[in-house]
Structure 1
Amino acid sequence: MIGIVNYGAGNIFSLTAALERQNIAYGMVNTEADLGNYSHIIIPGVGHAGAAMKKLEQTGLVNAIKALKKPVLGICVGMQLITQHSEEGDANLLNIIPLNTKLFDKELGIKIPHMGWNTVEFKNNLLFKDVSLGTQFYFVHSYFIEYNPIFDIASVNYGNKFSAAIQKDNFYGVQFHPEKSGEAGERLLKNFSNLSS
């Protein structure tokens, strides 16, 4: 059963609708005690990383999330939160994965925010089990996570190469929105729900 961290910074309706379509049971995590009720945890997120981190700190869940040994998935800003720092609001984040979240460079001649469907190149990872090579996922973001081959499990090119998905131990993050990425996104959510602790 998936617990969704409910800290006021997520588009939770789209996510819960996608989980329901896959018959994946879920509930909300509002307190530290709630974390124990679920086998898997999702940190959703839309908007500003610095503001999202402040909201997460207000829940008192930060240390408990960092200590988790069960599978955790950060989505979009939720993925950025598990990195160490964001240029958005010059914010120190959870620092679970030692990477930085940076603003896209307008000098590259790209539109910001990065919005729409992009092909994701992924590695052999259980999160992408049964997802076809060349699959596109839906993105909407102005900040990206620097590419690092140690933690990168999927990358995408938009102006430059950056991480579309990362992993360190039981912590995973995806920059795209699986809940808005059709069949492939729902397959990824199903794969996450099947990960063992």
Structure 2
Amino acid sequence: MVAVVDYKGGNVQSVLFALARLGVEAELTSDAEVLRRADKVLFPGEGEASSAMAALREAGLTEVLPTLTQPFLGICLGMQLLGEYSEENDTTLLGLLPFRVQRFAASQSHKVPHMGWNTLSALQGPLFAGIDPEEHVYFVHSYYAPVGAYTLAQSAHPAPFSAAVQYRNFYGLQFHVEKSSSPGARILSNFLSL
């Protein structure tokens, strides 16, 4: 069974639709026992870090999510929330990965947010099996995790940042896998096969 974390965050329906296109029925839930029993957990996110963390605390999920042992995938803000701290409204995060989320610096040539299609590089691990580094995936974000030992893939805007991360069973994708056409479907399918 695949569970999608329900903390009243955005982007849930498009993730459920992407799973349905792969023939996977998922349960949208904030129930700790359902999350613990799930074979895979997806953690979508859209919006702002401090509001998302407040919603997770209110739902009792800040204690539950770090204890999960099955493959777990944070998407966009869901990836950022796996870190330790975000510059976005001075927010303490879940602390599952050792990164601090930073804001992109705007410039004449690179606007914030980083929005649209971009390529991936330095791909590592089974999430990216069959993915050509020149294929494009879809990003919408103003904040990012820097490149570190946890990085599975990079993109750039203009400097490199973590497009995918992993620590133990916790994976994160900064891009919207559910909106990334065939490469996104392949990456999501790879996650479901872990």
Specify the TM-score bucket, using the shorter chain as the normaliser.
over 0.9
Pairs within 5 Å for 1:47-196 = 47-107=47-107, 109-148=109-148, 150-195=149-194
- Give the CA deviation at 1:62: 1.3
Residues 74, 173 of structure 1: 8 Å contact kept:
yes
CA distance in 2, matches of 1:136, 1:108: 23
CA distance in 2, matches of 1:38, 1:176: 24
Residues 153, 163 of structure 2: 8 Å contact kept:
yes
Q: Secondary structure at the match of 2:145?
A: strand
Residues 24, 190 of structure 1: 8 Å contact kept:
no
Relative distance call for 1:173 and 1:108 in structure 2 (3 A) is farther
Residues 122, 128 of structure 1: 8 Å contact kept:
no
1:36 paired with 2:25, answer: no
Root mean square deviation of aligned Cα: 1.2
TM norm structure 1: 0.95
Q: Secondary structure at the match of 2:88?
A: coil
CA distance in 2, matches of 1:135, 1:107: 25
- Give the CA deviation at 1:77: 0.3
Dislocated runs of 4+, deviation >2 Å: none
Residues 84, 97 of structure 1: 8 Å contact kept:
yes
- Give the CA deviation at 1:36: 2.8
CA distance in 2, matches of 1:98, 1:190: 27
Q: Secondary structure at the match of 1:130?
A: coil
Residues 155, 165 of structure 1: 8 Å contact kept:
yes
TM norm structure 2: 0.96
Give the residue type in structure 1 aligned to 2:176. H
Q: Secondary structure at the match of 1:10?
A: coil
Q: Secondary structure at the match of 1:165?
A: strand
Question: How many residues are paired up?
Answer: 194
Q: Secondary structure at the match of 1:70?
A: coil
Give the residue type in structure 2 aligned to 1:137. V
> CA offsets, 1:20-46, max 9 Å, x none?
111122111222122133101111100
In the alignment, structure 2 segments of 5+ residues that lack a partner are none
> CA offsets, 1:121-177, max 9 Å, x none?
1423111111123111000011111111x1000001112110000001100000000
